[in-house]
A and B are shown apart, each in its own frame.
Chain A
């Protein structure tokens, strides 16, 4: 059974030969540079990686030979999150900085930062979003299509017999809005400028639809449809305890727009499954997301409120594939012992693997505080204990 067949089984709620494993198939199931280098060195694997897809979170895509050795069943196809990263970044002293195509300024200080942090928001200076949108607008995706085509042409050969994931080009609908307007201002705009909030969400939705159209055009031109099984979107809607904005506001302003995106992806590529990453305690909106066309849910942050895995599998296991939730990344993977890591992976496989519908990935990217020993404890246990 090859990787593609394995994942196809899992996402159709069937048991394959083993639980599929996703490393670097999306920008939320990856590994940060430091953790990657440590882990690969320990087992003598190549520490080389591809052009960075998402330098902001400092994750890396291992080179093909390493992905093969790690038995990752997925390969990503999609625009780079920071277009022309190598050309647009500059360095002064220890500080790297760049202005991305959304006019956001990001900086990373090598002496202390593990990630790029955002310093400016293009609509922050205005009294309202409505006012700001008279002076600034969401970038047109058409300006970047050529660059995307060059980038994905480099990625495509790796699709091989793996599950191809068509991955998003930017953060989620609310996430992009927050980046553009500034965090606290946007939250308050929900009350003070609801029309502006809707307009900005709409503009970002359009940007995303244009992206998906351009990506699918290329895939069709190349005749690669059969190599793509999953289309991946995201929007971090939850905190440790609840959703960030109310479920009602999400139902009104956000979920219908995802529905439009998912209808479009299915129209263009009827055989694909829609994947979404949304952090935190989001149980109340899972039925709405399913209704809107969601097939695969990530990252399954089971340490958040009311997100216990057994309950999720019981209540949503028929409708949703769980992609992630393989091990906790807020405590066990980074602070536990290798034995604790291994025990937790076993415990979770016992809950999630039966009947398929589960693809293994930790809750979110492996951060730099994860030791090589813990990474391998996770991996060894999965490969050994994840067999059906």
Chain B
């Protein structure tokens, strides 16, 4: 029997080869993808997120963990085709127009992905049209916006207004984040939630899809 704790270790320590190897063995032994994801992958991502939050892990550690996680997920995903229930929900994520900071946004995207969400990462410098188009096309449950600049964070309000104008605001939840963003700002612009870190983003997303 494969020791799936090795998958947990592989992701936590950012070891892609080990992660792929253990996942392949587990699949060959007939272990359900869902069990692998819920029992080990999500736990490992939560742990690395926690270490990051506590200043015990750093950007490189998170990127390596995400890479190892994706290696495993690439094997598992095709096996879960059709079984819609496996996805926690669909998230469209991007950094807003005029802003190129994406390190934090990508970490949030990876954490969400590693914790069972389907993530459509639009990239940086994303206009309200692009957010709306993607939300419609993918029937997203949540739109996540990131901004690291005081000069670009106000654009989040424009996106929310545009969602309203396009008549899709009621269909999606809106989460925002990035260094200058605060809870008060989120409330002020009519977003559904804010989190100051990637782990909190996952908790919030879970809460919002459950609502």
Write the residues of chain A forming the contact surface with B, with a CB cutoff of 8 angstroms: 112-114, 117-118, 183-184, 187-188, 190-191, 239-246, 249, 305, 329-331, 334-335, 367-369
B1-22 interface (Cβ within 8 A of A): 14
Q: Can you give 5 contacting A-B residue pairs, CB < 8 Å? A: A112-B97, A187-B60, A245-B59, A330-B179, A367-B151
Is A246 within 8 A of B180, CB to CB? no
Is A114 within 8 A of B60, CB to CB? no
Give the contacting residue for B58; candidates A240, A246, A329; CB below 8 A.
Answer: A246
Question: Which of B98-106, B112-120, B168-176 is the contact stretch?
Answer: B98-106
Is B180 within 8 A of A188, CB to CB? no
Is B150 within 8 A of A329, CB to CB? yes
Smallest Cβ distance from B194 to chain A, in angstroms? 14
CB-CB < 8 A to B103: which residues of A?
A: 183-184, 187, 244
CB-CB < 8 A to B150: which residues of A?
A: 329-331, 334-335, 367, 369
CB-CB < 8 A to B179: which residues of A?
A: 239-240, 330
CB-CB < 8 A to A249: which residues of B?
A: 58, 60
Q: Is B162 an interface residue, CB under 8 A from the partner?
A: no
- The closest CB in chain B to the CB of A187 belongs to B60
CB-CB < 8 A to A113: which residues of B?
A: 98
Q: Is B47 an interface residue, CB under 8 A from the partner?
A: no
CB-CB < 8 A to A330: which residues of B?
A: 150, 179-180
Compute how far the CA of A243 lies from the CA of B97 in the bound complex, rounded to whole angstroms.
26
Q: Is B64 an interface residue, CB under 8 A from the partner?
A: yes
0/1 interface trace, chain B 54-86, chain A, CB 8 Å (1 if under): 010011110110010000000000000000000
Is B58 within 8 A of A191, CB to CB? no
Is A242 within 8 A of B55, CB to CB? yes
Q: Is B125 an interface residue, CB under 8 A from the partner?
A: yes
Q: Is B121 an interface residue, CB under 8 A from the partner?
A: no
CB-CB < 8 A to A335: which residues of B?
A: 150
- The closest CB in chain B to the CB of A335 belongs to B150
Give the contacting residue for A244; candidates B58, B98, B102, B149; CB below 8 A.
Answer: B58
- The closest CB in chain A to the CB of B16 belongs to A192
Compute how far the CA of A331 lies from the CA of B184 in the bound complex, rounded to whole angstroms.
12
Compute how far the CA of A380 lies from the CA of B104 in the bound complex, rounded to whole angstroms.
37
CB-CB < 8 A to A244: which residues of B?
A: 58-59, 103
Q: Is B197 an interface residue, CB under 8 A from the partner?
A: yes
Give the contacting residue for A245; candidates B60, B98, B104; CB below 8 A.
Answer: B60
Is B59 within 8 A of A191, CB to CB? no
Known: A117-B125, A239-B179. A187 touches B98 (CB 8 A): no
Is B58 within 8 A of A188, CB to CB? no
Smallest Cβ distance from A122 to chain B, in angstroms? 18
- The closest CB in chain B to the CB of A280 belongs to B179
- The closest CB in chain B to the CB of A32 belongs to B151
- The closest CB in chain A to the CB of B103 belongs to A183
Interchain residue pairs A-B with the least CB separation, the first 4: A187-B60, A240-B179, A242-B55, A330-B180
Known: A114-B151, A335-B150, A367-B151. A184 touches B63 (CB 8 A): yes
CB-CB < 8 A to B106: which residues of A?
A: 184
Known: A334-B150, A368-B151. A190 touches B60 (CB 8 A): yes
Identify which of B14, B53, B55 gathers the most chain A CB atoms within 10 Å of its CB: B55
Is A187 within 8 A of B63, CB to CB? yes
- The closest CB in chain A to the CB of B54 belongs to A242
Compute how far the CA of A191 lies from the CA of B66 in the bound complex, rounded to whole angstroms.
14
Is B100 within 8 A of A191, CB to CB? no
Instruction: Give 12 A-B pairs besides A244-B58, A245-B60, A331-B180 with Cβ atoms closer than 8 angstroms.
Output: A112-B98, A117-B100, A188-B60, A188-B64, A191-B14, A191-B60, A191-B64, A243-B58, A246-B58, A246-B61, A249-B58, A331-B150
Smallest Cβ distance from B135 to chain A, in angstroms? 21
CB-CB < 8 A to A114: which residues of B?
A: 98, 151
Is A188 within 8 A of B197, CB to CB? no
CB-CB < 8 A to B59: which residues of A?
A: 187, 239, 244-245
Compute how far the CA of A246 lies from the CA of B100 in the bound complex, rounded to whole angstroms.
23
CB-CB < 8 A to A334: which residues of B?
A: 150-151
Smallest Cβ distance from A274 to chain B, in angstroms? 26
Compute how far the CA of A188 lies from the CA of B106 in the bound complex, rounded to whole angstroms.
14
Smallest Cβ distance from A180 to chain B, in angstroms? 16
- The closest CB in chain B to the CB of A178 belongs to B103
CB-CB < 8 A to B149: which residues of A?
A: 367
- The closest CB in chain A to the CB of B152 belongs to A114
